[in-house]
Structure 1
Amino acid sequence: MNKQKLIAYPLFSLLLGLPLTQVGAVELADAPLFSTVVVPGNLILALSVEYPTATTPGYSSSYATNSTYLGYFDPMKCYVYEYNSANPESSYFKPDSLASNKSCTSSTSKQLWSGNYLNWASMQTLDTFRWVLAGGYRSKDTTTDTILTKTYAWFNGLNPDKSISNAELIAGATPFTKAVVHTNTKIQALGTAMYIGSSVSNTVEDYNGQNHYVASKKQ
């Protein structure tokens, strides 16, 4: 210990004795240095998004409100479904209100979806890449509207169905009431759609934002 101290003190004294000089700010180039054409700065990232990385689920754990699932939806907000009857595939979720502990309370007149749940149910790994780097894939981006669309899910066996078997969790995550004790979510082989089924029946039906107790809801 004494030998270490004897070595440290002279070094410390030497550093204190160095003259201090002020260094001016240096501007770093964000464009090619010797180009005769003015171009914006560019950045290329070599990301590992090959198969099967890009098609795997963003979240594989069981759903819980004490966990925050990040993604295209705000986990702290509730969403309503804007249904387009002329073109159902153009329907989308729209922010409506703040959630309470990442849970939403629906009524017959307003059916709410938890953004936290929608992220858990729909996000794939490629969605996470897109969200972090560019805010997500913009299938529509105008001065008035921006719509984000999830990654295309094809049949590859890497996106197993997800389920919740807790009536209280279901009521806070979806418009289903506590009478529904089980939900099953499916995105595999559905492209950019999502099916959410209850235990009420097995009938598949487009969700229009109002049909409260359909068996499967389509995003």
Structure 2
Amino acid sequence: MTPHEAAGTKPKGSPWRILVTVLGTLAVIGVEFVLLYGVYSRATPVAEQRAAVAEVVGQLSVAVPADAAALADSLDRAAAQLADLGAPDDQVAVVADAAAAVQDSPGALAEARTAVTDLDAELADHAASLDVQAIVAYVSMLVIASVGWMVWFRRLVGRHRRLQAEVTEQAALVASEGRLASLVRRSADVIVVLGTDGRVGYATDSAAGLFDVPV
């Protein structure tokens, strides 16, 4: 028998505690997924932009002035691809300007190569920044979740200890009452408790033997 059963009461708030715990856990998981999805959804276009720019860098690294016309067409396509991938206008302009420069002056390959290489480095830095943001978001949510679970677990342990103390106290009280009843029942004194109707409600063993009444 639990302390609540002995007292004729039921524990209050337990369903609400469970509901709050479940909702809190789901909220933390949901926020974590939203943050990570937001970071990685930004990282995906950047990775595709880097791939497009890396292809241009490769073409420029092996290009010669005689390939200026074909290279200009390739750079124009790369600029259009970057625009479709949502790259900022200034980054698209770098590739488009390189295409125009190569087409107008085949000797401008070096300048175009430098400009596109710098753009590739800029995209690499942006991708690294997004990776750091993802790590920070993940670690932050992990710390928040860990602290939340630790606080909840400490409260749960504290509540369990209080209930255990109540059960122990109740068990000690029942045992004490049992010992007292046993002492009274086996007492040499004659003790008889009569009800309002005159019937014997309680009698010690000595009274039962003396008056021949059931115990």
TM-score range, shorter chain: under 0.3
Larger proportion of helix: 2
Look at both structures and tell me which one has the larger radius of gyration over its CA atoms.
Answer: 2
TM norm structure 2: 0.17
Larger proportion of strand: 1
